[in-house]
């Protein structure tokens, strides 16, 4: 399956100069969606994954079916104020200003093996914040997987030491 063919590139979104990789065109194609999820899950099927963690919002669309395929649980990571029960928070820097992510305090037990799933790896900031939350709760990051990797932003270098797998790379 040529996944790149299914991903739409939108010029100047959300800002001038950005070539946004739009996965909605892949998700709406049943055959491509199934093949992509099977390939992402397949790389980790022998890794005894207990939980898949997906950052909102596209990490839900990709992470939940990967969790289902692996027979693992799914844990949402969200922007502040969205999760109803007690949470922990990790703040991280953006180009301008800060952002933060939260997870439920009881979402992960010490020693559980966790796979992080998101649609796209850019600078790695979102993933590093997600790793910080998982490790603070005592989870073990057994792998990290993306549909898309923007290799020219060198996010993979910032994730050195972790097992990073992506479907397609630009």
The catalytic residue positions are 58, 95
Cα 44 from Cα 31, distance rounded (Å): 21
Where on the chain is the footprint of ligand 5GP (CB under 6 A)? 20-21, 23, 55, 58, 118-127, 155
Q: What are the b/e assignments for 33-53, b being 16+ CB within 10 Å?
A: bebbbebbbebbeeeebbbbb
In the bound state with ligand 5GP, the residue whose beta carbon lies nearer, of 73 and 125, is 125
Min CB(147)–ligand 5GP separation in Å: 8
CB 101 within 8 A of CB 89: yes
Q: How far is the CB of 4 from ligand 5GP (least distance, A)?
A: 13
Helix, strand or coil, per DSSP, at residue 8: strand
Task: Take residue 13 and report the two structure tokens written for it.
Answer: 């979104």
Q: Which residues contact 49 (CB under 8 A, 6 or more apart)?
A: 70, 72, 113, 114, 115, 142, 143
Question: Is the Cβ of residue 79 or residue 105 nearer to ligand 5GP in the bound state?
Answer: 79
């Amino acid at each position: 399956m040529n996944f790149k063919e299914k991903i739409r590139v939108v010029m100047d979104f959300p800002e001038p100069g950005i070539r946004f990789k739009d996965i909605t065109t892949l998700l709406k194609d049943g055959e491509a969606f199934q093949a992509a999820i099977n390939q992402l899950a397949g790389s980790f099927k022998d890794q005894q994954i207990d939980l898949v963690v997906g950052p909102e919002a596209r990490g839900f669309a990709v992470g939940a079916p990967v969790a289902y395929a692996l027979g693992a649980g799914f844990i949402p990571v969200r922007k502040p104020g969205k999760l109803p029960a007690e949470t922990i928070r990790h703040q991280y820097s953006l180009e301008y200003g800060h952002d933060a992510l939260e997870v439920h305090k009881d979402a992960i037990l010490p020693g559980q093996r966790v796979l992080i799933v998101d649609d796209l790896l850019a600078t790695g900031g979102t993933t590093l914040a997600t790793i910080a939350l998982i490790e603070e709760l005592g989870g073990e990051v057994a792998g990290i997987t993306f549909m898309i990797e923007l290799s020219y932003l060198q996010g993979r270098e910032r994730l050195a030491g972790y097992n990073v797998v992506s479907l397609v790379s630009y």
